[in-house]
Amino acid sequence: MGFDYILVIIGEVLIAIGIFCDLVASIGMLRFPNFYVRLHAATLGTIGGAVVPLIGAALVAAGSDFLGTYRWFMAGGAVITAILVLMLAPAGSHALARAAHRSGAAKVFPKIADHLEEDRGGMK
């Protein structure tokens, strides 16, 4: 009983962290000045706002005794989804950023330094 309660509390804390990350990410998506920083906000939304609360949901499900055996199905599904998102989302945003930078489709406009552009041989 006590251990289940601790699991549920930790899970709820993780879900709350996820809500905070989602809120920050959505504000960033609206307020950030160019594509790359907005992409940064989007990845905050996928990792902080999806992976963390999914693990929290898994802990909540694992601690909910009244669900019976099925809570392990729910917990396992949530953990596997979290691992998949953790693996696939960064690859996707990496591919997006790389393609945008290489093709020059998105300008790095308010910039302080762009070392990748310098490495590739200066301004386009």
Q: What residue ranges bind other proteins (CB under 8 A)?
A: 84, 87-88, 90-91, 94-95, 98-99
Nearest distance from C-beta of residue 5 to other proteins, angstroms = 34
Cβ proximity to other proteins, 10 vs 106, nearer residue: 106
Q: What are the angstrom distances between the C-alpha of 13 and each of 43, 57, 115, 116?
A: 20, 10, 38, 38
Smallest distance, Å, CB 31 to other proteins? 26
Contact call for residues 60 and 7 (beta carbons, < 8 A): yes
Q: How far is the CB of 44 from other proteins (least distance, A)?
A: 19
In the complex with other proteins, the residue whose CB is nearer, 76 or 90, is 90
- How many other β-carbons are positioned within 10 Å of the β-carbon of residue 59? 23
Judged by CB, which is closer to other proteins: 19, or 84? 84
CA dihedral 90, 82, 17, 26 (to 10 degrees): 50
